Structure 1
Amino acid sequence: MSEPRRRMSGKERREQLIQISRTLFAEKGFDGTSVEEIAATANVSKPVVYEHFGGKEGVYAVVVDREMQKLLGMVTEALSASHSLIKLERAALALLAYVEENSEGFRILVRDSHAASGTGTFASLINDIASQVEDVMVDEFVERDYDPKLAPMYAQMLVGMVALTGQWWLDVRRPPREEVAAHLVNLAWNGLTGLNPQPRLTASSRGLEQRRTPLPPRPTDKELREMEKARERELKEQEKLREREVREAAKLEREREKLRLREQRELEKSNEREFRERERLLRDQEKARERELKEQEKIRVREAKTAEREAARQAEAAGHAGMEQEKLEPTE
C-alpha cells in the first residue's frame, strides 16, 4: 500500500511553482505561457498561483530577478581578480559557465523584454555588468594615457561582444567554453593593447556618413522618466486588474459555497420532513391497529356475554320443563 502524499508547505509550493514556471518560460517565452498551464503542470488550481504571485507577471518577475542575480553574482565575483587580464578571462568564463549550467535561465533573459520584468531585462543586466567593467577600463585607460571618459562606451562594447557570443554559443556549444573564452579574450585584450587613443574614420567613410539622413534625436532624460512613469502606471493598472480578477474569483467561489450549503440545508430539511412524515404515518397506523384490536376485544367480550346469557336461559328453560314434567307424572 503506497504512503499518502505529503502536503506541501507554502514555501515548498512557491518554490515548485517558480521552478515549473522557469522551465515553461524558457521553452515558450512569457506570452506563450499561461497561468492555466503553470497550474496544470503543478497539479494545483489557478487561484493557488494567484495567491502566491498575483498572476503570471508576478512569477515571471521572480524568475527573471533570480536569474539576473545569479549571473550578476558570478560575473561580479570574476571581476574581483587583481590583474585586468585575469578579470577579463574570468568574466568571460563566468558568462559562458552560466550559459552552460543555467541554459533555461539564460534563454529567459535573452528571449523576452516584457514589461512584467520591470527593469529586469537583459539590456539592464548588461548595463549592470558594464558599469563594473567600466571601473576596470578606467584604470587601463589612465595607465595608457587614453581619455577615461570613453571608458563607459568601451565597457558597453566589450560586454556586448561577450554577451552576443554567449547567445550564439547557447545553441552551438562548440568549441568548449574555455576555448571560446580564450578567443574572446584574445580579441578583446589584444585589441585593447593596440588601441589608438584618437581613432578616426577614413575620409571616404566620413563623406558617406555626412550624406546620411540624420537619426532621430535620442529621448531626453525627462522623456525617459515620463516613459518610465507611463510604464509604471500601466503595471499598476495591470496589478489592479489582477487583484480585481482575484477578488471576483474569490467572490464567485464564496457564492458557489453559499449555494452549495443552502442546497445541502434544503436537502437536509426535506429529508427531515420526510422522516417526520414517515414517523407520523407509522404512529397513525399503530393507533389504528390498537383501535382495531380494542374493537375486536369488545366484540369478543360481548359475544362471550351473549353466549353465557343464552346458556343460562337455556338451562333455566330446561329446569322449568323438568319441573312441569314432574307435575304431570301420576303419583303411585
Structure 2
Amino acid sequence: MSEPRRRMSGKERREQLIQISRTLFAEKGFDGTSVEEIAATANVSKPVVYEHFGGKEGVYAVVVDREMQKLLALVTEALSASHALIKLERAALALLAYVEENSEGFRILVRDSHAASGTGTFASLINDIASQVEDVMADEFKGRGYAPELAPMYAQMLVGMVALTGQWWLDVRKPPREEVAAHLVNLAWNGLVGLDPRPRLTGSSRGPEQRRAPLPPRPTDKELREMSRARERELKEQEKIREREQREAEKLARDQEKARLREQRDLEKARERELKEQERLLREQEKVRERELKEQEKIRVREAKAADRDAVRQARLAERTGEGQDKLESSE
C-alpha cells in the first residue's frame, strides 16, 4: 500500500506554482499560458492559483521580477571590477552565462511582455543595466576628453549590442560563450578606443538640405596616423595594466598561500610547544609524586623503627618489673 502524499505548506505550494509557471511562460509566453494549465500541471484547482497570486498576471509579475533581479545582480557584480576593460569583459560573460544557465528566464525576459507585467520588460531591463554602465562610460569619456553628456546614449548602444547578441546566441549556442564574449569586447572596446570625438556622416549619406551645410574638416593623413599610433599606445598600455593586475593577483595569491602555510607552521609549532610543556609538567608532577612517596616511605620507616624501639623498651621494662616481683616474692 503506498504512503499518503505529504501535504505542501503554503510556502512550498507558492514556490511550486512559480517554477511551473516559469517553465510554461518560457515555452508559450504570457498569452499562450492559462491559469487552468498552471493549476493542472501543479495538480491543484484554479482557486489555489488565485489564492496565492490573484491570477495569471500576479504569478507572471513574480517570475519576471525574479529573473530581472537575478540578471541585474550578475551584471552589477561584474561592473565592480577596477579597470573599464575588465568591467566590459565580465559584464559580457555575466550576460552570456545567464543566457546559458537560465535559458527559461531569458526567454521570458526577451518575449513581448504583457501589459500586466508593468516595468518587467526587456527594454526596462536594458535601461536598468545601461544606467549602471552610463556611470562607467561618463568616467571614461571625461578621461579621454570626450563629451560626458553623450555617455547615456553610448551606454544604450553598448548594452543593446551585448543584449541582442545574447538573444541571438540563446538559440545558436555557438561558438562557446567565452569566445562570443571575446568578440563582443573586441568590437566594443576597440571601437571605444578609436572613438572619433566629432563623428559625422559622409556627404553621400546626407539629404539634399544637409549636403548644402559645410562639413567640418576631416582629419588629415598625419592626424589619422597619430590617432592610430595613439590607439596602439593605449592598447599596449591597457595590456600592460592587465598583465600587471594579473601579476599582482598572482602575487597576492602566493602571499596569501605563504601566509596560510606560515600560520599553519606557527600553529603546529605552538601545538608542539604546548605538548612539550604538558609533558614537562607531567614529568614534574611525577617527580613531585615520587618525592612525596619516598618521603612518606621514610616517615613510615622511622615510625616503624620508633615503634620497634618502644616495643623493646616495653619488653625490657616488663622484664625488669617481672624480675623485681620475683625477688620480692622469694624474700617473703
In the superposition, the TM-score normalised over structure 2's length comes to 0.63
Deviation at 1:210, TM superposition (A): 5.4
What SS is found at the alignment partner of 1:141? Answer: helix
Pair 1:61 & 2:61 matched: yes
Question: In the alignment, what sits opposite 1:203?
Answer: 203
Question: In the alignment, what sits opposite 1:17?
Answer: 17
Deviation at 1:209, TM superposition (A): 8.2
Question: In the alignment, what sits opposite 1:30?
Answer: 30
Alignment of 1:71-90 (within 5 A): 71-90=71-90
Deviations 1:41-87 (A, max 9, x none): 00000000000000000000000000000000000000000000000
Deviation at 1:113, TM superposition (A): 1.7
Q: Tell me the distance in 1 between the aligned counterparts of 2:41 and 2:208.
A: 57
Q: Tell me the distance in 1 between the aligned counterparts of 2:110 and 2:209.
A: 32
Q: Which structure is richer in relative contact order (CA contacts within 8 A, separation 6 or more)?
A: 1
| Backbone CA RMSD of aligned residues | 1.2
Question: In the alignment, what sits opposite 1:39?
Answer: 39
Q: Tell me the distance in 1 between the aligned counterparts of 2:22 and 2:113.
A: 15
Q: Tell me the distance in 2 between the aligned counterparts of 1:116 and 1:129.
A: 22
Q: Tell me the distance in 1 between the aligned counterparts of 2:189 and 2:109.
A: 27
- Pick which of 193-202 and 110-119 moved more: 110-119
Q: Tell me the distance in 2 between the aligned counterparts of 1:83 and 1:208.
A: 44
Alignment of 1:292-311 (within 5 A): none
Question: In the alignment, what sits opposite 1:151?
Answer: 151
Q: Tell me the distance in 2 between the aligned counterparts of 1:150 and 1:43.
A: 54
8 Å contact from structure 2 (residues 61, 117) kept in 1: yes
Aligned amino acid, residue 108 of structure 1: I
Q: Tell me the distance in 2 between the aligned counterparts of 1:35 and 1:208.
A: 57
Q: Tell me the distance in 1 between the aligned counterparts of 2:209 and 2:91.
A: 35
Aligned amino acid, residue 56 of structure 2: K
Q: Tell me the distance in 1 between the aligned counterparts of 2:150 and 2:26.
A: 36
User: Is the radius of gyration larger for structure 1 or structure 2?
Assistant: 1
Deviations 1:245-276 (A, max 9, x none): xxxxxxxxxxxxxxxxxxxxxxxxxxxxxxxx
Aligned amino acid, residue 102 of structure 1: N
Identity %: 93
- Pick which of 202-211 and 153-162 moved more: 202-211
Alignment of 1:45-124 (within 5 A): 45-124=45-124
Deviations 1:214-247 (A, max 9, x none): xxxxxxxxxxxxxxxxxxxxxxxxxxxxxxxxxx
Deviation at 1:116, TM superposition (A): 1.3
Deviations 1:196-225 (A, max 9, x none): 0010011121226859xxxxxxxxxxxxxx
In the superposition, the TM-score normalised over structure 1's length comes to 0.63
Question: In the alignment, what sits opposite 1:251?
Answer: none
Change (3 A) 1:44 1:209: farther
Question: In the alignment, what sits opposite 2:138?
Answer: 138
What SS is found at the alignment partner of 1:31? Answer: coil
Q: Tell me the distance in 2 between the aligned counterparts of 1:162 and 1:129.
A: 11
Q: Tell me the distance in 2 between the aligned counterparts of 1:8 and 1:62.
A: 20
Question: In the alignment, what sits opposite 2:291?
Answer: none
Unpaired segments ≥5 residues, structure 1:
212-332
Aligned length: 211
Aligned amino acid, residue 90 of structure 1: R
What SS is found at the alignment partner of 2:192? Answer: helix
